[in-house]
Amino acid sequence: MSHDSSAIPARGKQIEQLISIFGDPVDVTMPALFVYGHSSCGKTIVLNHVLEKLKVPHVVVNCTECYTNSVLFSAILQGLSGDNDLGSWKCDNLNDLGRNLRKVYESQSWNETVYIVFDKAERLRDREVNLLPALINLQELTSLNFCVILVSELPWEKFYNGVGIRQPFIVFFPDYTKSELGEILCHCRPDGVDREFYQHYISIVLAVFSLACRDLRELKHLSELNFSTYCAPVKAGKFDEGDKHKLWKHVEPHLKEALQQLYLRKVSSEEWMKLHDITESGDATVLKPVKNSDTIELPFYSKFLLIAAYIASYNPASTDKRFFVKNAGRMKKTARSMKKDERKNSHLRGPHAFPLDRMMAIFYSIVDSRVPPTANIFSQISTLVTLHLLAKIGHEDEIDCPRYKCTVSLDFISAVAKTMNFDIVRYLFDFV
Amino acid sequence: MDEATFSVSKGCFAFKGDSKENEFETTKYLKSDDARCAERWKLGTEVWNNIEISTNEINSSLQESMFLDLVKYIERSCLPKNAMTGRSEIPTAALMTGVNMPDHAALFVKLKEAVEESIAQSVVILQSKDCSNIKSMMRAIVNQLLGDTGMNTSRTSDAGDEDIASDDLYYMRKKSSTITMSMIVKWYNKVTKPHSHGGSPGKKRKIDDTCFARKPLVIMCQDLEAFPQLVLHDFIIMCSFHAATLPMVLVFGIATSWTDVSQRLLSHSAIVNLSVEKFHAPTASEHLALIIDKVLLTTEQPFKLSGKCLELIVDVFLCHDFSITSFLHALKFCALEHFREQPCSILCTKSLKEAESVISKFTKNDIRLLKSVDSFKRYVASHDKDKQTAISKDAGFKSEIKKCIHDLHVFHSFYFPALHCLHILTSSLPQYPLGKKIRELYHMCYKHDINNHEGFKQAFLLLGVSSRDQLVKHLNNCADTLESFTYEFDDCVDNDVHPNFASAKLHAFVENLEKMDENDPQPDNDEKDEEPENETLETVKYAYQLQERLRNRANKKRIRKMTRFEKIREEAISYLKSFFWQHLQRVQFMPFHEAFYFDSSAAVKRHLLAAPRLAIQTALSNPYQYLPVPSLEGMSYGVIPPNAPDICVAYKLHNECGNIINLYDWMSAFHVITTTNHGEGETNSEENKKVEIDEVTQARFIQAVSELQHLGFVKPTKKKTDHVQRLTWSHS
Amino acid sequence: MSKMDKTLLENAKSIIKERLCKSGYSHNVRADIDIAALDLGNLLQRTVEFGESNSVLVVGAKGSGKSTLINRVLEDIHNDSKNAKNLLIVKLNGYLQTDDRIALAEITRQLKLENTIGDKVFGSFAETLAFLLEALRSGDMSKSQPIIIILEEFDLFAQHKNQTLLYNLFDIAQAGTTPLAVIGITCRLDVMELLEKRVKSRFSHRQIYICNPSTLENYVQQFTDVLLLDKAFGKTAKHKAFVKKWNSHVENLTKNSSVLEILHKQFNYCKEASPLHQILFLPVCSLSQEHQEITPADIAESSQLIFNDSKANILHGVSVLELCLIIAMSHLTNIYEGEPFNFQMVYNEFLKFSQKKSHILQNYTKPVVLKAFEHLIELELLKTKDHFMTHSGKLQKEYRPMILLVDHSQLREAVAKYPGCPTDVKQWAESSIV
């Protein structure tokens, strides 16, 4: 049982283990395996690799995709029986599953172990209580040589759900070490790139990102994103592949900036190119600021409605008087008497729900021109709700006094307020 | 959202159906008293159709570039080069549509067409209302896919794949059956196989025949914000599971912003699977500007909005919803209202000929109607006796009206070029004396006599001190705009203010300015001290600074002899002044301008700015508006007649009460009022109080109160039983 | 020679693997099971021979050998009873037959009566069952065939809608018209409480308890039993030799102190057989030509694998940023005496730390930190206080009340084990206050 670790770098040990567990195709193996480890550390790919290589009958089903039991079962049966038309295996309870499995097993006249892999197995917990234990006991239930393999990101302890459930044999895929990450990233480098050159690049990438992110997919994305930036000066002929220090100096600011957008996929490769015009000039010292596409263009009154909503949901209702009644003297006094409490700070605790009337009252008092209470105003509120800038609290049927929350962040609202040159901070209780 | 779907039928393509049903309805709704309303209606609809056509053109021209980019992106993302990276990520186009949601549906339908005809195998548009859970989402996808392939197979007439996929199709068509992603993938492979291997359409040749050479499957989420978070998460996970085998592209319609979406909607594990590219749809406001510029303020369309109305509906647009669709609705309303209400709108034709032909077959009745148009009355009054008598004759009237209409056409054909010209000159001046946007300028010109307007004067003061290159730039632009128009009535305007002549003249000025410096070096030295001043002038903050600077500049001028440059500038400016003076007259002074201009902003307000609460309150406080019963007239000022509707009586009474209302007092008051008949007021109200209130009155009262509660004026309160709380502000 | 040897080893390996993996087929049984088997055996005998009806519950912890017992008994009956040929056995399992309708269909199927029942419609469940049995009786003239119905996961059947199946089965068994033995198998000791009164009253309160080995000796005995090869392995001299060699090495293995210690630990942890098998599984699997015997080291390693804390594994995989967030959270839980916190607070804590202390962690924007936070939620290292599925869209992620599921000791351990963890982060984890 030798295997090529070249296909999947840094997972030799796990492949070994799996192969030795599966052992000889014909003889019996553990009725259930539980494979867990962090996302994108090669669980699925290794499993597929091994199963393909051993050429044992197997099927892989994705539990997210098979969102009902019947779909799940028929997916299994189709995968094993290998016949292609969709409606063929109709099967919606475990009993039928067992029978059909036996049917398939005999029709294929297997004698070796049959593997059923459940990817994203954590989703099985949302189904009815007995599904998971039943699947784990499949070998015993069908008294056929099945091996059920559950693949998940969560540890097994998250799968206990009250009913007695037998613990499967657990296989852990440890997360990659830094060096392993480097190895893998190099392994899938764009072809036609000198390995050692790329390796150095990767080492820089890891140096910048590894603190914040050890997810292979994200690192891969980032490294692909920035590589062109990295080798732009080389292409431009400014300095050759040799002098690493310059290259490092050149690429680092870009990476630092990319660090601000980790996991956000804010800019794609194209825009990245556009932003730092690296295509023509190789110097990274001129970093254009990211074009801020986050400011939403809102209609005039919507802006004020939003501001009113924000004030309403972050100020206690008791303080409305001092903000909106024109009486400076009293206001100052109360401001001093008010005792701030860290725990009460609503920018820490989150927005409160407020009734519609309160919002409208604030709205009318902050809009200086008098607004006719037309239907359009109210339709705007619902628009804001559909845009999820406001959230309607409580059930839909409470029409007499609907209550809302404002779900935008402080910097968003202050950006909006700035465009109306309205100084919102003066109206926020947390900041007086 | 259904409003949006409505706008699909209105906004973009289905207007044939529209106009038909309009004609169908008209018979019922038109006023019977004047004969020509039917024709007017026909005229109106066709005018509107013209407007709509041109707006649609603008629409598509605006979106074209974005569509192109998107299509390119989709094409690129399906190229084999992505195969190298394992293609674990799903190519995703984040389409930043503004917050104007009513327009989105139309946008996406167009996008679908664009993408479909160019590259994609099939395009699916998902709306959040179909996607409350995965099952229904899949169902929606499949339904659209099967709908498409129906067309596909008929288009590329090979029934082969049909046979292969037939039983699957049967399965997938069944409403009951649950669909999974892998089924879709399998079906998709079956459908696309013959396409990718067989004779492929030209555009796919260049792509070699890997699994990525197949046309992609494009799935659009129209309103991403409204999608349930979990559904979206699962969907993305599923797609990523198949991304390696299925060439698939997602298009997210995002109304707010990517940051918002990526934070709120896309979970950590979902977002890792996307490789996002952002596209920006043209913003609604520039779209609007374009429509106003290209459609409303041109000589093309005979129908025109008065400055006030235009301002009104633009305000609706800017203040409430950035929705082009609803703006067009408003515009349509104005147009049709115009042709419905305004008798002389019959003359609002595109070409003069038609108008004349119409005039020639006027009947007495028409003439009687048209004579009552105020602008015409004013016009007549301005003339002397015998002229008036001449006009009062039908023949005379007809000839007169012909003349008026002709004048109007002439006027328009020069008015708008001049307007654009002036806008070009003034739109870049500091502090915008004549407004930033052309619509503001238009509004001014409509409202005041622009030539003696304060802003106009100031603008020309500023122009009078502009530096040379600025001047050259302006003049060139003006000339270009003037040439961009076509003029028919050449003979009706004296030559030296005719736009063509004007543009020529401007060019001449420009030439002089250009060759000025080489033939005499003298002005250059004071060019130098000219320049910095102008720089400062651009950056000036306050009006008074400006004034004084201009003043001492003028003094300086008087001392120093005018340079050549200044001379030319003077000439140019003065010429332009005269030019504008000629063409930018107030249209209100022209007889029969009502034929073209729609000016009843009241109607617009009434129909487009619905104010439900106001309506209810007027209905309650002054029912006479709705029920013309003479005895109700008094209600507007205080007195409450006993035969008023109960709810009105109750409302009136509760208006007098404080914040908390005692039901019993209320009821007795109610009883008093309803039982008093005229004549004796207070006298027997006394024993009315004493006597038992009969059940009928009680019932009526209770009903009235509950109606008020339903309307949200009162609500029961916890504090006091047998009291209700008042929800409107009390005057006392 | 070696070739031959290899095959022998392979055989031994597969045999032992089978013992380890297949449940319900332990090759040599314990004494207590023998007694139980005797008991149950003649009970069933009476059903088969004299057509008595009976109902019995077999109760015992997981892996205590219930299935073994049943299989064994059935085997015996088949071997030594004259009219075992017309004995009918129906096996039902609570996992498979998830409701009574399915169960009934399954019974019909196992009695091979599908075509007899055809498409008749029956008023009630009881009628159907009665019809089935009737059909059996009519099957042969002399007397009705005895039926043994085995209900595995008996407790699940008790959860079916008003326990119709159980009621009818017990009812028939009590009526004694047809020779019917109902055997329920369950691992729940409180199974009687699950039964409704009417059902309970019809059940002959005969229960057989099977327990796990109660002493360490039995446990170790079990350990060796699994590994030892017996005569059945083979007759030839080679086989004998191999068996001898193997068994001796197994003996040594059990003598080994470290192995014994591991076993003891495992025994205290849980008496059941399956964990024991799991410990043995990897070493057996790793047997090969190069590695012919199971060494104590193998045992130690595999037990190590079994025992290590999965949460610690997960914590080992998170990024430093996420680790910092966890630290911040555990501090918050200390500060607020375990009442829930939200992201905003965590972020503030994190900022305080990164600005005061650490200089490598300063430049992270809030969205990035939020994504890291989400990742921790997906790993279920912390959970929302209220079930946020209800208003997922409504409440912002930043303000959802959260509870940390990692306690301080675990965290400290994780930080200690974390590869290349910055020192200031270490200090922060230790010090309760920033």
pLDDT of residue C392: 47
**How close, in Å, is residue B229 to chain C by CA atoms?**
7
**How close, in Å, is residue A291 to chain C by CA atoms?**
17
Contact list in A for residue B103 (CB cut-off 8 A) is none
**Domain C-terminal end among B538, B572, B598:** B598
- Which CATH number do you get for residue A307? 1.10.10
Whether residue B291 sits in one domain with residue B217 = no
Given pLDDT bands bounded at 50, 70 and 90, which one contains residue B379?
confident
Contact list in B for residue C374 (CB cut-off 8 A) is 267-268
Contact list in A for residue B607 (CB cut-off 8 A) is none
Given pLDDT bands bounded at 50, 70 and 90, which one contains residue B441?
confident
**Domain C-terminal end among B570, B598, B626:** B598
Read off the tokens for C116: 């007899």
pLDDT of residue B193: 66
**Domain C-terminal end among B282, B310, B339:** B282
Find how far residue A78's CA is from the centre of its chain: 31
Contact list in A for residue B320 (CB cut-off 8 A) is 299-302, 376-377, 379-380
Share of chain B above pLDDT 70, in %: 77
Most confident listed range (A169-183, B285-299, C48-62, C283-297): A169-183
**How close, in Å, is residue A188 to chain B by CA atoms?**
7
* A256-260, C4-8, C326-330, range with the lowest pLDDT: C4-8
Could you tell me which of B197, B502, B205, B447 has the C-alpha nearest to residue B309?
B447
**What DSSP letter does each residue of B675-708 carry, written as one string?**
H--SS--STTHHHHHHSPPPHHHHHHHHHHHHHH
Residues with pLDDT less than 70, chain A: 1-7, 84-88, 162-163, 265-295, 326-344, 396-400
- Whether residue A84 lies inside any domain: the answer is yes
**How close, in Å, is residue C135 to chain A by CA atoms?**
24
Given pLDDT bands bounded at 50, 70 and 90, which one contains residue B149?
low
pLDDT of residue B608: 81
Is the pLDDT at B453 greater than 50, yes or no? yes
Whether residue B200 sits in one domain with residue B173 = yes
- Whether residue B687 lies inside any domain: the answer is yes
- Whether residue A6 lies inside any domain: the answer is no
Are the beta carbons of B289 and B62 closer than 8 angstroms? Answer: no
Whether residue B217 sits in one domain with residue B317 = no
- Whether residue B555 lies inside any domain: the answer is no
CA-to-CA dists, residue A144 to A102, A195, B609, angstroms: 8, 49, 74
Mean pLDDT for chain C overall: 82
Is A280 an interface residue toward B (CB < 8 Å)? no
Q: How far apart are CA A142 and CA A140, in angstroms?
A: 6
Smallest CA–CA distance from B265 into chain C, residue:
C393
Nearest to A297 among B98, B170, B237 (CB): B98
φ, ψ at A175 (rounded to 5°): -70, 155
- Whether residue A1 lies inside any domain: the answer is no
Q: What is the pLDDT of residues B470-500, one digit of tens each?
A: 888 888 888 888 888 777 776 677 777 777 7
Do β-strands B304-305 and B597-598 pair in parallel, antiparallel, or remain unpaired? Answer: parallel
Contact list in B for residue C379 (CB cut-off 8 A) is none
Q: Region B393-405: what's the mean pLDDT? A: 82
Write b or e for each residue in B484-496: b if 16 or more Cβ atoms lie within 10 A of its Cβ, otherwise e. ebebebeeebeee
Find how far residue B363's CA is from the centre of its chain: 38
pLDDT of residue A148: 93
A–B CB contacts, 8 A cutoff, strictly below: 166
Whether residue A206 sits in one domain with residue A167 = no
Q: What is the pLDDT of residues B581-592, one digit of tens each?
A: 878 878 777 878
DSSP E strands in B162-287: the ranges are 217-221, 248-254, 274-280
pLDDT of residue A341: 57
Is residue C58 helix, strand or coil?
strand
- Name the H helices within A237-295: 244-259, 269-275
Whether residue A386 sits in one domain with residue A243 = no
Is A347 an interface residue toward C (CB < 8 Å)? yes
- Whether residue A99 lies inside any domain: the answer is yes
E strand or H helix at C247, and its extent?
helix C237-255
Is B728 an interface residue toward A (CB < 8 Å)? no
**How close, in Å, is residue B89 to chain C by CA atoms?**
18
Given pLDDT bands bounded at 50, 70 and 90, which one contains residue C118?
low
- The three-state DSSP-derived secondary structure of B83-108 is HHCCCCCEEEEEEECCCCHHHHHHHH
For chain A, how many structural domains are there in total?
3
Is the pLDDT at C43 greater than 70, yes or no? yes
Q: What is the pLDDT of residues C173-222, one digit of tens each?
A: 887 777 888 899 988 888 888 888 888 888 888 888 887 777 888 888 88
Mean pLDDT for chain B overall: 76
List chains touching A (3+ CB pairs under 8 A).
B, C
Class of residue A258 by CB neighbours under 10 A (exposed 0-12, middle 13-18, buried 19+)? buried
- Whether residue B83 lies inside any domain: the answer is yes
| Cα R_g (chain B), whole angstroms | 35
- Strand partners for A391: A405
Number of H helices and E strands in chain C, helices first, is 21, 7
pLDDT of residue B13: 39
Is A120 an interface residue toward B (CB < 8 Å)? yes
- Name the H helices within B12-133: 15-29, 37-77, 81-84, 104-118
Half-sphere exposure (Cβ direction) of A115: Cα atoms closer than 13 Å:
28
pLDDT of residue B10: 37
Whether residue A255 sits in one domain with residue A351 = no
Q: Region C266-292: what's the mean pLDDT? A: 83
- Whether residue A380 lies inside any domain: the answer is yes
For chain B, how many structural domains are there in total?
3
Is residue B622 helix, strand or coil?
coil
Is residue A369 helix, strand or coil?
coil
Read off the tokens for C29: 């049984």
Ramachandran sector of residue B51 (left: φ over 0; alpha: ψ -120 to 50; beta: rest): alpha
**What DSSP letter does each residue of C81-130 carry, written as one string?**
-GGGTT-EEEEEETTT--SHHHHHHHHHHHTT-HHHHTT---SSHHHHHH
Q: What is the pLDDT of residues B263-272, one digit of tens each?
A: 888 888 888 8
ipTM of the modeled complex: 0.88
Whether residue B430 sits in one domain with residue B294 = yes
Distant-in-sequence contacts of C43-50, Cβ < 8 A, 24+ apart: C43/C181, C43/C206, C44/C73, C44/C74, C44/C77, C44/C148, C44/C181, C45/C77, C45/C81, C47/C146, C47/C148, C47/C179, C47/C180, C47/C181, C48/C77, C48/C81, C48/C83, C48/C84, C48/C87, C48/C146, C48/C179, C49/C81, C49/C83, C50/C179
> Comparing A156 with B676, which gets the higher pLDDT?
A156
Whether residue B328 sits in one domain with residue B209 = no
Is B269 an interface residue toward C (CB < 8 Å)? yes
Smallest CA–CA distance from C366 into chain B, residue:
B263
Nearest to C21 among A31, A98, A393 (CB): A31
Is A370 an interface residue toward B (CB < 8 Å)? no
Q: Specify the residue for token string 């059956």.
A: B177
Cβ–Cβ below 8 Å for C316 and A174: yes
Could you tell me which of B357, B358, B352, B348 has the C-alpha nearest to residue B301?
B348
- Which CATH number do you get for residue B152? 3.40.50.300
Whether residue A308 sits in one domain with residue A231 = no
* A252-261, B21-30, C123-132, range with the lowest pLDDT: B21-30
Which residues, 6 or more positions from C197, have their beta carbon under 8 angstroms from its beta carbon? none
Nearest to A62 among B84, B241, B609 (CB): B241
Is the pLDDT at B15 greater than 50, yes or no? no
Whether residue A121 sits in one domain with residue A62 = yes
Whether residue B222 sits in one domain with residue B364 = no
Chain B residues 653-712 within an 8 A CB cutoff of chain A? 712
Is the pLDDT at B213 greater than 50, yes or no? yes
Q: Region B389-396: what's the mean pLDDT? A: 79
Smallest CA–CA distance from A295 into chain B, residue:
B257
> Beta-carbon neighbour count of residue A197 at 10 Å?
17
**Domain C-terminal end among A281, A315, A348:** A281
Given pLDDT bands bounded at 50, 70 and 90, which one contains residue B155?
very low
**Domain C-terminal end among A117, A151, A172:** A172
Are the beta carbons of A39 and C380 closer than 8 angstroms? Answer: no
Most confident listed range (B167-176, B524-533, C108-117): C108-117
Q: How far apart are CA B151 and CA B148, in angstroms?
A: 5
Given pLDDT bands bounded at 50, 70 and 90, which one contains residue B80?
low
B–C CB contacts, 8 A cutoff, strictly below: 24
pLDDT of residue B252: 92
Whether residue A159 sits in one domain with residue A17 = yes
Share of chain B above pLDDT 90, in %: 4
Cβ–Cβ below 8 Å for B168 and A377: no
Cβ–Cβ below 8 Å for B262 and C367: yes
Could you tell me which of C19, C15, C1, C5 has the C-alpha nearest to residue C288?
C5
Q: What is the pLDDT of residues C370-397, one digit of tens each?
A: 889 999 998 989 888 765 444 544 677 8
Is the pLDDT at B2 greater than 50, yes or no? no
Whether residue B442 sits in one domain with residue B589 = yes
> Comparing C6 with C331, which gets the higher pLDDT?
C331
* A376-380, B599-603, C111-115, C296-300, range with the lowest pLDDT: C111-115
Cβ–Cβ below 8 Å for C397 and B230: no
Class of residue C305 by CB neighbours under 10 A (exposed 0-12, middle 13-18, buried 19+)? middle
Q: How far apart are CA B81 and CA A212, in angstroms?
A: 30
Whether residue B291 sits in one domain with residue B276 = no
Are the beta carbons of B401 and B359 closer than 8 angstroms? Answer: yes
- Whether residue A294 lies inside any domain: the answer is no
Smallest CA–CA distance from B166 into chain A, residue:
A85
- Whether residue B511 lies inside any domain: the answer is no
Given pLDDT bands bounded at 50, 70 and 90, which one contains residue B32?
low
Cβ–Cβ below 8 Å for A140 and C13: no
Whether residue A308 sits in one domain with residue A274 = no
Whether residue A147 sits in one domain with residue A85 = yes
Is the pLDDT at B36 greater than 80, yes or no? no
- Whether residue A127 lies inside any domain: the answer is yes
> Which strands sit side by side in the sheet containing A390-393, from one edge to the other?
A354-355, A403-406, A390-393
Find how far residue B310's CA is from the centre of its chain: 10
Smallest CA–CA distance from C289 into chain A, residue:
A1
Helix axes B438-447, B394-426, angle to 10 degrees: 140
Whether residue B278 sits in one domain with residue B294 = no
**Domain C-terminal end among A149, A172, A195:** A172
Is residue C420 helix, strand or coil?
coil
Domains parsed from chain C with CATH numbers: 22-209 (3.40.50.300), 215-307 (no CATH), 312-430 (1.10.10)
Q: What is the pLDDT of residues B99-143, one digit of tens each?
A: 887 788 888 998 888 888 887 778 899 998 888 889 899 988 888
- Whether residue A4 lies inside any domain: the answer is no
Whether residue B216 sits in one domain with residue B101 = yes
Cβ–Cβ below 8 Å for C375 and B269: yes
Which amino acid, residue B146?
L
Chain B residues 212-241 within an 8 A CB cutoff of chain C? 228-230
Its sign, for the CA torsion C11, C16, C21, C22, is positive
Helix axes B324-341, B2-11, angle to 10 degrees: 60
CA torsion angle C246 C250 C256 C262 (round to 10): 130
- Whether residue B246 lies inside any domain: the answer is yes
Q: Which of A95, A125, A314, A386 to mutate to test the interface with C (most CBs of C within 10 A)?
A: A95
- Which CATH number do you get for residue A97? 3.40.50.300
Whether residue B386 sits in one domain with residue B423 = yes
CA torsion angle A9 A14 A19 A21 (round to 10): -170
Is the pLDDT at B514 greater than 80, yes or no? no
- Strand partners for A344: none
Q: Specify the residue for token string 């630092």.
A: A256
Question: DSSP label at C64?
Answer: S
Are the beta carbons of C285 and A23 closer than 8 angstroms? Answer: yes
- Residue ranges making up the domain that contains A343: 300-329+339-431
CA-to-CA dists, residue C242 to C2, C6, C230, C287, angstroms: 12, 11, 11, 14
Whether residue A222 sits in one domain with residue A147 = no
pLDDT of residue B23: 47
- Strand partners for A354: A404
- Residue ranges making up the domain that contains B259: 78-282
Are the beta carbons of B337 and B597 closer than 8 angstroms? Answer: no
Is the pLDDT at B536 greater than 80, yes or no? no
**How close, in Å, is residue B221 to chain A by CA atoms?**
14
Q: How far apart are CA C140 and CA C276, in angstroms?
A: 49
- Whether residue B61 lies inside any domain: the answer is no
E strand or H helix at A27, and its extent?
none
Whether residue A136 sits in one domain with residue A114 = yes
Nearest to B259 among C367, C374, C396 (CB): C367
Is residue B437 helix, strand or coil?
coil
pLDDT of residue B220: 92
Whether residue A136 sits in one domain with residue A217 = no
Which residues, 6 or more positions from B524, have their beta carbon under 8 angstroms from its beta carbon? B517
- Whether residue B548 lies inside any domain: the answer is no
Whether residue A373 sits in one domain with residue A240 = no
Q: Region B518-539: what's the mean pLDDT? A: 46
Question: DSSP label at A398?
Answer: -
pLDDT of residue C34: 78
Distant-in-sequence contacts of B156-164, Cβ < 8 A, 24+ apart: B156/B194, B156/B195, B156/B198, B158/B194, B158/B198, B160/B194, B161/B190, B161/B191, B161/B193, B161/B194, B164/B190
Whether residue B211 sits in one domain with residue B273 = yes
Do β-strands C382-384 and C402-404 pair in parallel, antiparallel, or remain unpaired? Answer: antiparallel
- Whether residue B68 lies inside any domain: the answer is no
